[in-house]
Structure 1
Amino acid sequence: MSSAVTTRFAPSPTGYIHVGNLRTALMNYLIARKAGGTFILRLDDTDQERSKQEYIDALMQDLDWLGLHWDRLERQSLRYDRYRAAADELRGAGRFYECFETPAELDLKRKKQLNMGRPPVYDRASYGLSDDQKAAARAEGKEGYWRFLLHQNRIEWEDGIIGPISIDAASVSDPVLIRADGQVLYTFASSVDDVEMGVTHIVRGADHVTNTATQIQIMEALGGTPPRFAHHSLLSGPGGEKLSKRLGALSLRDLRAQGVEPMALLSLMARLGSSKPVELAGSLDELAAGFDVESFGTAPTEFDPENLFPLTRQYVQGLPFAEVQARIAALGVPADLAEDFWAVAKGNITVLADLEGWWALFRDGAEPLVDEGDRDFVAQALALLPAQPWTRATWGEWTAAVKAATGRKGRDLFRPLRRALTGRDAGPEMAEVMPLLQKRPGL
């Protein structure tokens, strides 16, 4: 690939973006990044009723959080003059025609075709209408909308994931490109933009394959060269169920609120559904260097959000103190304890927010967990606990004294004492915990 590679991510700002959107954005981003090319963020905001600035702002925040920075920002709502010019060009070439069927009439046609065992393809009844016939339709209160006249041959391309694709255009309805209210539809606006912006590679979901077939003809009719297409499989739930109904709970902002780290999310999405193992990457450059769109399969790809947390844990636990120092200071950890606190706590957290619970334990103490049969033993042990401040040596010295006084040893000695001091059955080495405990425990 050369530096002329141009990709794009073209979301509709009608909601918060989710993991399905991210998969598309990331693949296009990595192709451009690997080639030293251009990544365009293009807002498909021609639906003025549903497109909202709050979703645009949230989208940009999400991409920025992930480090997926775009080279160019485009808005389709600012390009209506280009769509009008392209529509005029297609009309002049005889590839655009005005239609007047109502939704009810089209639905009736589809039902008749299905009842006759035929595919529900538009019959081109409006193609070739005379000016008088169009005037008569308008006199009846009908509003015209515009379809693209497909050449009814086979549309073929080599898909970067699926492989060779061949679609008979005669089996596809001439697509509606401009609605009666003047709204330019995705199929048309996207084709015009991809041609004029020099897009060379497009990765998107497998549900767009038929769109791709029609868009190839639209692009060619506009004098453009279609880009290299690749259609990735759609995400399903961990049991193979459709994910679409759950995507609202899998928005990027929700995952961020749960503490998922950007590199964990990117590492999973860059490999999920491919022949390569999922591994935590150190950077976007590393992900780009190892990215190969042809390594992805066509089967539905199972996505389980729980898989994000082992990767997040691996990422968080590998952070150097300097990268968490400010966060730890914000918890109120004294500066002289901060680095030791991180060294002790990091091996016992999954997300950074877990640090708060550990500091609360060290600062305020915990509600002791004491089995009834251990109550006298723990009381005797606490009476032997030396005065603060405690050091790393305190745990060994104290437990040795308790062992000598009570005769207890091994698990029967150490477990009740850990539970009495921390209120937990497991955690960091107690020798490391003792210097961090700010309050003396009591029963």
Structure 2
Amino acid sequence: MTVKTRFAPSPTGYLHVGGARTALYSWLYAKSQGGKFVLRIEDTDIERSTQEAVDAILEGMSWLGLDWDEGPYYQSKRFDRYNEMVEKLLAEDKAYKCYASKELLDEIRAEQEANKEMARYDANHPKIIAVNDAATEGEPCVIRFRNPKEGSVIFNDEIRGNIEIANSQLDDLIIRRSDGSPTYNFCVVVDDWDMGITHVVRGEDHINNTPRQINIYKALGAPIPTFAHCAMILGDDGAKLSKRHGAVSVMQYRDEGYLPNALTNYLVRLGWSHGDQEIFSQQEMIDLFSLNTISKSASAFNTDKLLWLNNHYMKTSDPEYVAGYLQWHMDNQNIDISKGPALTEIIGALSERAKTLVELASSSRYFYEEYEAFDANAAKKHLRPVAKQALILVQTKLLACEDWSDATLQQVIQDTADELEVGMGKVGMPLRVAITGAGQSPSLDVTLRLIGKERSISRISRALEFVVAREAAQ
């Protein structure tokens, strides 16, 4: 048997963190078993589904690197198939027409609640029987699945073990609305059957749907997939993850400067583990992943942990990989990278200090363009008249440099300090403020090399003008 999993989002919103983790688990299980991963867009809710949401889902999946082997399939293009199966169930008396109006059903529900009975659809209620008996062919109606009344639905959940639901707890759900559109629970079953889905990985909020769907699989004579229901993700305050935690869209994490491999590494650990290991390559995830090692307990989203992982991947990933994503942020911040060093050089110099690609791009600006002004605090502290001699001497030595390498530049700074008989900081800090405009940067030799000789000399001259003006003002 070829293992086949699927991710089947509804395009009524963006791809959020919970959906992304479900997609990742489904993708990993298919890959770990040498199987196939299917992407299906469940867009039967015509009024709420949007093309914008479809595009956001596809973009999010692609950004995360979760490529699909089949699809994307769209339920909205399969209505003929669903209707064919509805007619099959009608012909076999496994489904029936119901003419009861919404108003009548609301009235019956109110009566049931008043009598402290379970509020549910009851095909044997006298008022429903009367309406159905009086109806004529052609009147608007829904099609309901004739759910078994005896026994139980028992299934072995890969995460939660055996689950048993009595059929008496399940009512006759609608499988086709009065406007002719099929419903979610029915479409899912037909799709999984037609697409050969063997394993369904989804959130625990679907557990109540599973026994209903299993009964439909049985009625159609379709094989029943193996199910795995993942626990929810909580915010760091213990509440269900929501927009107030910033969980709007996976692409928001791209916008905030996260690498996709950092996010997938973080998501895989929200419910799954392999000992105490925290860092996983994609291949390690595939090799080690299994459904029955997913935790039954809810996981808490921790932004600090994600930031730590992101910094780790920025520092340790192939610089070319990081540069591919950094480019987007440089463009977004209007930084023209043609006017400075290669992005891989910037990553090597600055990634240690930055937690996100947004920070990395922002902190690299002085490598590509002239800073507007000196940082006030840094200039006040380090561009004082006493720094003039050090700046003049180091500029003279740098002008004479033919070898603009790290080692040579470091030696120039050291020689300047030795000649003036001062500590390295008395030369290095004024020089740093001169060439970057601020008081922090990578090591000065690397910073000078990446900025280049001509611009470095020019910036030192600018700093000297500032120092001289300050000296004159005293």
Q: TM-score range by the shorter chain?
A: 0.7 to 0.9
Q: Is 1:350 matched with 2:348? A: no
Residue 106 of structure 1 aligns with an amino acid whose one-letter code is: L
Pairing partner for 2:144 from 116, 125, 147: 147
1:38–1:71 Cα contact (<8 Å) kept: yes
Q: Report what 1:79 is aligned to.
A: 78
SS at match of 1:250: coil
Q: Who is 1:233 aligned against?
A: 231
Between 1:317-326 and 1:206-215, the stretch displaced more is 317-326
The TM-score normalised by the length of structure 1 is: 0.86
In the TM superposition, residue 129 of structure 1 has moved relative to its aligned partner by 6.9
Deviation at residue 415 of structure 1 after TM alignment: 4.9
Instruction: Give the aligned residue type for 1:367.
Output: F
Residues 206, 324 of structure 1: alpha-carbon distance in 2 compared, 3 angstrom cutoff: closer
Which residue of the partner structure matches residue 37 of structure 1?
35
> Which residue of structure 1 lines up, in the alignment, with residue 265 of structure 2?
267
**SS in structure 2 of the partner of residue 88 of structure 1:** helix
The one-letter amino acid paired with 2:374 is E
Partner residue of 2:416?
A: 401
Match of 1:386 in 2: 395
Partner SS state of residue 84, structure 2: helix
Which deviations, in whole Å up to 9, do the C-alpha atoms of 1:241-277 show, x marking residues without a partner? 1223448753122222222212111111122122435
Match of 1:205 in 2: 203
Deviates more, 1:175-184 or 1:228-237: 175-184
List gaps (5 residues or longer) in structure 2: 467-474
Query: CA 1:206–1:182 in structure 2 vs 1: closer, same or farther (change >3 Å)?
Result: same
Task: Please report how far the alpha carbon of residue 340 of structure 1 lies from its aligned counterpart in structure 2 after TM superposition.
Answer: 4.8
Number of equivalences = 436
Alignment-mate amino acid for residue 287 of structure 1: M
Displacement of 1:219 = 0.4
Corresponding residue of 1:254 = 252
2:445 pairs, out of 403, 412, 431, with 431
Identity over aligned pairs, percent: 32
Provide the residue aligned with 2:471 in structure 1.
Answer: none
Q: Spell out, residue by residue over 1:2-43, the C-alpha distance to the aligned partner (whole angstroms, 9 max, x if none).
A: 5x1111111122222111111111111111111111211112
**Alignment-mate amino acid for residue 109 of structure 2:** R
Distance 1:13 1:325 in 2: 31
Structure 2 residue matching 1:433: 3-state secondary structure:
helix
Are the aligned partners of 1:200 and 1:228 in contact in 2 as well (CA < 8 Å)? yes
Q: Which amino acid aligns with 2:93?
A: G
Indicate the residue corresponding to 1:108 in structure 2. Answer: 107
CA-CA distance at 1:54 after TM superposition = 3.1
Q: Provide the TM-score with structure 2 as the length reference.
A: 0.81
Deviations 1:303-350 (A, max 9, x none): 234533322222222244544678499602556x77654432343333
Q: Which amino acid aligns with 2:379?
A: V
The answer to which of 184-193 and 418-427 deviates more is 418-427
How big is each residue's C-alpha offset from its partner over 1:347-384, in whole Å with a ceiling of 9 and x where there is no partner?
Answer: 33334454543442134256141345872333443233
Conserved in 1, the CA contact under 8 Å of 2:417 and 2:424? no
Matching residue of 1:290: 288
Unmatched segments (≥5 aa) in structure 1? none
Correspondence list, 1:14-163, <5 A: 14-73=12-71, 74-125=73-124, 133-134=131-132, 136-137=134-135, 143-152=140-149, 153-163=151-161
Distance in 2 of aligned mates of 1:126 and 1:81: 32
Inter-CA distance 126–294: structure 2 relative to 1 (3 Å threshold): same
Q: Which is worse superposed, 54-63 or 288-297?
A: 54-63
CA contact 2:146–2:172 (8 Å) conserved in 1: yes
Residue 344 of structure 1 aligns with an amino acid whose one-letter code is A
CA distance in 2, matches of 1:147, 1:318: 56
Distance verdict in 2 for CA 1:52–1:354, change over 3 Å? same
SS at 1:217 equivalent:
helix
For the residues of structure 2 that align with 1:174 and 1:256, how far apart are their CA atoms?
A: 44
Indicate if the aligned counterparts of 1:97 and 1:127 stay in contact, CA closer than 8 A: no
Q: 2 CA distance for matches of 1:165 and 1:356?
A: 51
| Counterpart contact for 1:260–1:351, Cα < 8 Å | yes
Give the corresponding residue for 1:318: 316
Distance 1:204 1:320 in 2: 33
Paired with 1:249 and 1:199, the residues of 2 have a C-alpha distance of 29
Between 386-395 and 192-201, the greater mean CA deviation after superposition:
386-395
What is the alpha-carbon distance in structure 2 between the residues aligned to residue 321 and residue 269 of structure 1?
A: 23
Give how far 1:115 is off.
3.5
- Superposition RMSD on alpha carbons, in Å? 3.2
Residue 427 of structure 1: how far off its partner (Å): 3.4
| Structure 1 residues 180 and 246: CA distance shift in structure 2, 3 A | farther
Would the aligned equivalents of 1:331 and 1:356 in 2 still touch at CA under 8 Å? no
